[in-house]
Structure 1
Amino acid sequence: MILITEFMDEAWVDWLRARAEVVYEPDLPDRPDDLARLADGVQGLIVRNRTQVRGALLDAGFACVGRLGVGLDNIDLDGCAAKGIAVFPATGANTLSVAEYVVTTAAILLRGAYMMRPAMEAGDWPRGVAGQGREIAGKVLGLVGYGEIARKTGALGRALGMEVVAADPYATDFEGAREASVAEVLAVADVVSLHVPLTDETRDMVNADALAAMKPGAVLVNAARGGIVDEAAVCDALRSGHLAGAALDTFAAEPLDAAHSFAEVPNLILTPHIGGVTAEANTRVSEMTARAVADHLGLG
């Protein structure tokens, strides 16, 4: 049996159903008791980012985990390795989706005019303010992390006339970007985009000090992982005007709870962890994951 705990392209759920018994309940992260019960004895587990594959769940007996995406911070990789559980991320399948999200959102934040609807509907005509937006061409795109998604983001930025600088102590080459330190990226970039996993090293790396070190008037995009940025500090930097705009697609706690700090913060775009999720990307991610799990289980 294969257990799918979060949303997946229906065509590829059906493809798996033609080969094995499948339980597909995409709200299981909100029902941990049911998740534990249904996982007991399954052969394969397919998850996105909300299902925590760790602790007692690793004793359920599954042989593999298919990850509908690339981030693995919700999966205990050491624990899986110790139990011989194979882990299959959908590497590359949503690269273009995330890269497009970063560049298009950065362009919206730089231009600024897209936030004018409430004033216009109230009878104002803020053409003077709206006309002070900036073009993306000629701006510096700073990438913190330079893996596959960051490289595609850089390529799209260059196609729009941006200069690309990148910082990554683990990168083996910087083709398409000028290598820089994180401090230099923050200091020179008009757009800072984060492309690092959530680890002890990267947690809260974009804190109040890092934001203060950013170029005045820059914009920040986080479509990587929640917990990398200090969300309250981002809100403070937006309120003060030091940051011209920010887009957050991932959060320290998902979904947001009533205690969030984002109410009435200016020039802030919030999206519900969908940077890597489009109709096309979901199909690619689902196909890659379904085939990897089926192959591992000998289902063909």
Structure 2
Amino acid sequence: MTTRVLAAGDHFVLNRLLIDAVREQVPEGLEFTELTLDWPLVPFGRVAEVDEASGTEDQLIEALDGAEICLTQMAPLTRRVIEASPRLRLIGIGRGGPVNANLKAAAEHGVAVCCAPGRNAGATAEHTLGMILAAARRIPQTHAELTAGRWRSDYYRYDEVGIELRGSTIGLVGGGAVGNRVAEMLAALGAHVLVHDPYVTESAVAELVSLDELLARSQVITLHARVTPETTGMIGAPQIAAMPAGGIIVNCARGALLDYDAVCDAIDGGHLFGAAFDVFPEEPIPAGSRLLSTPGVTLTPHLAGASRQTAANAAAILAEDVARHLRGEPLAHPA
């Protein structure tokens, strides 16, 4: 008996990656159909009741006709889509969380949902390290000066130069998959690493401390926490003021963790040396945002997890759960 699988990839997690990964796990008995979504060429958004989705409900309903399995990263798995797809039994979402799927509707209709946690941990950790170095050594600013035809040797003034990572104390707020890799890399470079995470009880490379102690001791703070009611806005003006003068803040996790205006105020006032951000309260960044004009702020457009390995990892993780589903085994990464 043949099982029909819809690969609803995009221009990052490609259909060929999804199909090849599944065929490696399940060589026979599958029939694939394909739908290519517009992301990231067209930004994702809210579709009906789900967030961060690409494509339309009608588009997906047509593509899912007769499919038992849907593999995607961004497709809108809404209640309407699920109800219109009676043969659907498994949804695989190639990202850390299933924000683009209506889990309640899926459960009501007997549709299992799995996702791909940790798929981008390596890419995000490496990007974080790059952002720390960029902010500490003013790499983007000095590059811009050179391309504008200005040789700024005054950046060599003591008050303008940054720190080395070796011997510096760097604090990580969050010690999960990404935070742990960042801690390992920083420790290998000779930094003294602090971690605040109430769910982490031991670390081979970092000293576990309270948030207050981390703020008071860290020359660089980088955020790696999940957004919850407890962590939303957890770093604001009082926390920034508690940091040593000349500090740096990096955020490659989620924009809701941080008060960005407070960061701009602290840079303008001279308390912070700089900052580096890959995530923002509103994306894309609105024209006129202070982030676009505050000196010493390095910005990237939510690309920390963007690597070829991330896309391949997402496909491989989903493929393993497709094989489990077809064997009647519990999913490794249920949503």
> Scaled by the length of structure 1, what TM-score is found?
0.84
Match of 1:4 among 8, 21, 27: 8
Say which is worse superposed, 137-146 or 75-84, in terms of deviation. 75-84
Distance (Å, rounded) in 1 between the aligned partners of 2:162 and 2:201: 37
Does the C-alpha gap of structure 1 residues 133 and 68 become closer, same or farther in structure 2, counting only changes over 3 Å? same
Hey, what's the Cα distance between the residues in 2 that align with 1:52 and 1:233?
Answer: 35
Q: Distance in 2 between matches of 1:252 and 1:63?
A: 35
Summarize the Cα distance change of 1:52–1:162 in structure 2 as closer, same or farther, 3 Å threshold: farther
Offset at residue 272 of structure 1 (A): 1.8
Instruction: Tell me, in whole angstroms, the C-alpha distance in 2 between the residues paired with 1:84 and 1:155.
Output: 41
Distance 1:280 1:124, change over 3 A: same
Q: What CA distance in whole angstroms lies between the structure 2 residues aligned with 1:76 and 1:198?
A: 19
1:127-147 Cα deviation digits (max 9, x unpaired)? 232462321111112111111
Alignment map for 1:24-103 (pairs within 5 Å): 24-27=36-39, 29=44, 32=47, 35-40=56-61, 41=64, 43-48=68-73, 56=80, 59-61=83-85, 62-72=88-98, 80-81=106-107, 83-103=109-129
Deviations 1:192-248 (A, max 9, x none): 111111222222222222222222222112111222222222222222232222221
Give 5+ residue unaligned stretches, structure 2: 24-29, 49-54, 328-335
Residue 123 to residue 25, structure 1, CA distance change in 2 (3 Å)? closer
Could you say if the C-alpha distance between residues 74 and 221 of structure 1 is closer, same or farther in structure 2, counting changes exceeding 3 Å? Answer: farther
- Give runs of aligned pairs for residues 199-210 of structure 1, distance below 5 A: 199-210=228-239
Q: Which of 224, 238, 241 in structure 1 is aligned with 2:253?
A: 224
Identify the range of structure 1 (69-78 vs 205-214) with the bigger mean alpha-carbon deviation. 69-78
Q: Kindly report the root-mean-square deviation, in angstroms, between the aligned alpha carbons of the 2 structures.
A: 3.1
Name the structure 2 match of 1:128: 154
* Secondary structure in structure 1 of the residue aligned to 2:193: strand
Q: Is the 8 A contact 2:18 2:71 kept in 1?
A: no
Partner of residue 23, structure 1: 35
Give the match's secondary structure for 1:183. helix
- Bigger shift: residues 50-59 or 61-70: 50-59
Unaligned runs of 5+ in 1: none
Query: Which has the larger displacement, 190-199 or 34-43?
Result: 34-43
Taking the aligned partners of 1:19 and 1:97, their CA distance within structure 2 comes to: 32
Amino acid at match of 1:120: L
Determine the C-alpha separation between the residues in 2 that align with 1:53 and 1:245.
Answer: 40
Distance 1:210 1:75 in 2: 35
Instruction: Work out the CA distance in 1 between the residues paired with 2:166 and 2:179.
Output: 18
Corresponding position: 1:116 with 2:142: yes
Residue 220 (structure 2) pairs with residue 191 (structure 1) = yes
Secondary structure class of the residue paired with 1:227: helix
Q: Is the 8 A contact 2:37 2:75 kept in 1?
A: no
* Range with greater deviation from structure 2 (29-38 or 184-193): 29-38
Partner of residue 199, structure 2: 170
Match of 1:241 among 254, 267, 270: 270
CA contact (8 A) 1:142 1:165 kept: yes
State the match for 2:52 in structure 1. none
2:243 to 214, 219, 223: 214
Identity over aligned residues, as a percent? 29
Task: State the alpha-carbon separation in 2 of the partners of residues 215 and 127 from structure 1.
Answer: 27
Distance 1:204 1:290 in 2: 37
Task: Supply the AA of the counterpart residue of 2:278.
Answer: D
Deviating more after overlay: 56-65 vs 226-235? 56-65
Query: Residue deviations 1:79-104, cap 9 Å, x none?
Result: 65555443323233322111111112
Normalising to structure 2: TM-score of the pair?
Answer: 0.76
Shift, 1:24, TM fit: 1.9
Larger Rg: 2
Cα drift, residue 284 of structure 1: 2.1
Q: Is the 8 A contact 1:4 1:26 kept in 2?
A: no
Distance 1:140 1:31, change over 3 A: closer
Q: Distance in 2 between matches of 1:3 and 1:274?
A: 23
Which secondary structure does the structure 2 equivalent of 1:244 belong to? strand
